A and B are shown apart, each in its own frame.
Chain A
């Protein structure tokens, strides 16, 4: 147990979370035929790909002691507007298109950010408002048209089945690669980039940030822009994956992303959390969800109840494990 001492409390938390994830997978492997297979891995990874970027952006906002409830509407706007745009500009370079999607997202995120950091309006109020406003813009702008698959370039429609690498039945899809890349960049930035540490500082104690000459407003603004850009990336993946985009695209993603973030151990009151945790949290929620719909024992109508209970169970197990690790660690000095 001597080794426990070496770990930071945050790391203990991650170990606990990873254990909970492993237990979940072990349980469902015993329940569902053919569960532990490359195919299932594919299913889960490509399902996670949509929500993961949003969860990462949400995590960064939450770290600064804010919340972004407008992400769902942002995904809708980006998927819809950019879907329409690429319909008109079929020849656009894919990389440029992804960047444009993220820029549109970042622009909308900047609206949130300016209101929060310079207008000094609490983020929950701002983003509750823009949640409605962005969606309204979309409804008015769309005039009830649908973006359809056949208006999109072929590379985009085929993207969800395209792989980066393949080995033994398992392949890493491009959209999964994009989401993982986003996670990797965010993880590196948050652990290696000096400026990024200020997200933690601001969330940990906003008053102290002022006294420590940290430009709190700018840090918060950037957090919201990142969240917007990530929602933009998710909007792109959403567009590629579902092809048919209506004004309801992305509805309800705000609570999903908050759930992934809090299960991933990001402190809802700001200041702490890690991208590894967010990835684990997102995967955990998605594994539970995707396993329940394949579990023959439960009827269709029990699924939601079990999903809620299992999330609660996972969070509780994680909390208890983290606490007892902490106690083991504490009793050694």
Chain B
């Protein structure tokens, strides 16, 4: 094996109450794809933040091409040739896509060449296989599109080590394919790629080596050929588990709780019609930007529809605000937990109780704090949210655990209709099974569920029926029995004729 380009020795990092990393040692060699896996909160993101100068380690050393270095800030990492796509995409909402990609580049001259900027951006985006206008301001981008921008930014740098922290968490199969092939190309060019993902199948497809972290400790680093799926999971969680939710038989469907006819939002989506029954799981599938999220937002009243009918339990309703949606028993779990889902600087318990606050109020609007904490605590146990207590601020949790808090928050509203936007984004294998089980259990209790997911295996595992969208239009609704990965993909990418024919 060639000499490592980047080496971490005995790295430790602790936050106020948690030891995120203890004594982690591993290395990256040029031209390899090195996967890092581990449960939520295992310390993966912390590790890469140390490599990129966002955090300073409490102990240990970092070697770059054999020489000890200290990476004091992100500029230092960039100067070395380390770039990262971070787990939570962070774009500059006021800048357009092209500027977002190139803002921190130092090799593009003193003056702006706007023409070249857009041309270069378009080329990069094309390479990623995404339809994205380089002139669009980033403020209107979906999470997946933001992720695309981040990827483009990292790719455009002349890097030696590229770190990807769950780059595919909100991508659909189509874009994932592109990304993986880009990773392989980079590898061929001699770039080392550090790849973090909870989707183990991807790892088996691209990685050369895989490192497992558990509880902030380094467990193993092995060539991919030397591990199996089961062994990897066992390393991650410390015991063997059954990673797939057993697909229970579809629940007996009850009455129609939600009926949507010809729903339109001018210029965004049109003609969405479906019925949703109690106890049913309806999945929305489609490519990034196919406007599935917008349908969800319309049903929840955030961006109200401009036409069409919605009836809940047989009664026509008008929903133009989230309050009204919630009155109808609709809950919406957003895909963007950082911006729309959770108040990061506030504690877990208050995030959980916010939408159902009315139920915790006594006379004079007084909050029943005991009840509130008890409920939060019960969710912490039930969803195994990793935190010392429910007073912890959400921002200090790992991505996956934040996702669980958000789930708890909406479960507590006891909804009739639950809209999940990317329900398992960034959740580890164990927890994903857990979330799926929770969803199925809810359905069993008679909750009607809409799940918007870019993860096709998840769609197939969860759904009773699948609604496929493409470019703001509903391409069709299928019973799960008639669905395969291929047929859904074909519809989503616009080869419907093909799909019909087959």
Interface residues of A (CB under 8 A from B): 9, 191-195, 197-198, 200-201, 203-205, 207-215, 267, 271-272, 330-331, 333
**Cross-chain contact B95 with A333 (CB below 8 angstroms):** no
Bound complex: CA A207 to CA B92 (Å):
9
**Cross-chain contact A271 with B94 (CB below 8 angstroms):** yes
Chain A residue at minimal CB-CB distance from B53 = A213
**Cross-chain contact B90 with A194 (CB below 8 angstroms):** no
What chain B residues lie within 8 Å of A204 (beta carbons)?
92-95
Bound complex: CA A260 to CA B383 (Å):
52
What chain B residues lie within 8 Å of A192 (beta carbons)?
111-112
**Cross-chain contact A213 with B94 (CB below 8 angstroms):** no
Bound complex: CA A212 to CA B105 (Å):
9
**Cross-chain contact A210 with B74 (CB below 8 angstroms):** yes
**Chain A nearest Cβ from B306, distance in angstroms:** 11
Chain B residue at minimal CB-CB distance from A202 = B92
Chain B residue at minimal CB-CB distance from A273 = B94
**Cross-chain contact A211 with B92 (CB below 8 angstroms):** no
**Cross-chain contact A205 with B109 (CB below 8 angstroms):** no
Across the interface, A212 reaches (CB within 8 A) one of B94, B108, B153, namely B153
Chain B residue at minimal CB-CB distance from A63 = B94
Across the interface, B90 reaches (CB within 8 A) one of A9, A203, A211, A333, namely A211
**Cross-chain contact A194 with B108 (CB below 8 angstroms):** yes
What chain B residues lie within 8 Å of A330 (beta carbons)?
267
What chain B residues lie within 8 Å of A193 (beta carbons)?
110-112
**Cross-chain contact A211 with B112 (CB below 8 angstroms):** no
**Cross-chain contact A201 with B54 (CB below 8 angstroms):** no
Bound complex: CA A204 to CA B138 (Å):
10
Chain A residue at minimal CB-CB distance from B338 = A207
**Cross-chain contact A214 with B103 (CB below 8 angstroms):** yes
**Cross-chain contact A272 with B54 (CB below 8 angstroms):** no
**Cross-chain contact B74 with A197 (CB below 8 angstroms):** no
Q: Given contacts A197-B99, A211-B54, A213-B75, list 16 more A-B pairs with CB under 8 A.
A: A194-B109, A195-B110, A197-B103, A197-B112, A200-B92, A200-B94, A201-B92, A203-B94, A204-B93, A212-B90, A212-B103, A212-B104, A214-B104, A271-B92, A271-B93, A330-B267
5 closest Cβ pairs, A-B complex: A208-B90, A271-B94, A204-B92, A213-B78, A204-B94
**Cross-chain contact B91 with A213 (CB below 8 angstroms):** no
Bound complex: CA A211 to CA B74 (Å):
7
Chain B interface residue count, Cβ-Cβ cutoff 8 angstroms: 27
**Chain A nearest Cβ from B24, distance in angstroms:** 21
**Cross-chain contact A201 with B103 (CB below 8 angstroms):** yes
Bound complex: CA A192 to CA B99 (Å):
13
What chain B residues lie within 8 Å of A9 (beta carbons)?
137
Bound complex: CA A194 to CA B113 (Å):
9
Asked if B73 lies at the interface with its beta carbon under 8 angstroms from chain A, I say: yes
Interface string of B75-118 (1 = CB under 8 A from A): 10110000010100011111100010001100011111000000
Can you offer 30 A-B residue contacts whose CB atoms are under 8 A?
Answer: A191-B112, A193-B110, A193-B112, A194-B108, A194-B110, A194-B111, A194-B112, A195-B110, A201-B99, A201-B103, A204-B94, A205-B90, A205-B91, A205-B92, A208-B90, A211-B74, A211-B86, A212-B92, A212-B103, A213-B74, A213-B75, A214-B74, A215-B75, A267-B94, A271-B93, A271-B94, A272-B94, A330-B267, A331-B266, A333-B267
What chain A residues lie within 8 Å of B54 (beta carbons)?
210-211
What chain B residues lie within 8 Å of A205 (beta carbons)?
90-93
**Cross-chain contact B103 with A198 (CB below 8 angstroms):** yes
Most buried by B among A198, A205, A207: A205
Across the interface, A208 reaches (CB within 8 A) one of B91, B99, B266, namely B91
**Chain B nearest Cβ from A274, distance in angstroms:** 11
**Chain A nearest Cβ from B101, distance in angstroms:** 10
Interface of chain B residues 123 through 162 with chain A (CB within 8 A): 137, 153
What chain B residues lie within 8 Å of A200 (beta carbons)?
92, 94-95
**Cross-chain contact A208 with B92 (CB below 8 angstroms):** yes
Across the interface, A331 reaches (CB within 8 A) one of B108, B137, B267, namely B267
Interface of chain B residues 178 through 201 with chain A (CB within 8 A): none
Chain A residue at minimal CB-CB distance from B92 = A204
Most buried by A among B74, B99, B108: B74
What chain A residues lie within 8 Å of B104 (beta carbons)?
198, 201, 212-214
Chain B residue at minimal CB-CB distance from A196 = B112
The answer to whether residues A207 and B78 also contact, given A194-B111, A212-B153, A213-B104 and a CB cut-off of 8 A, is no
Chain A residue at minimal CB-CB distance from B93 = A204
Chain A residue at minimal CB-CB distance from B109 = A194
Bound complex: CA A43 to CA B75 (Å):
49
**Cross-chain contact A213 with B90 (CB below 8 angstroms):** no
Interface of chain B residues 249 through 281 with chain A (CB within 8 A): 266-267
Bound complex: CA A150 to CA B431 (Å):
81
What chain B residues lie within 8 Å of A203 (beta carbons)?
94
**Chain A nearest Cβ from B393, distance in angstroms:** 15
Chain A residue at minimal CB-CB distance from B96 = A8
What chain A residues lie within 8 Å of B77 (beta carbons)?
213
Bound complex: CA A210 to CA B84 (Å):
12
What chain A residues lie within 8 Å of B153 (beta carbons)?
212
Bound complex: CA A198 to CA B112 (Å):
12
**Chain A nearest Cβ from B93, distance in angstroms:** 6
**Chain B nearest Cβ from A322, distance in angstroms:** 14
Most buried by A among B52, B103, B267: B103
**Cross-chain contact A207 with B93 (CB below 8 angstroms):** no
What chain A residues lie within 8 Å of B266 (beta carbons)?
331
What chain A residues lie within 8 Å of B109 (beta carbons)?
194
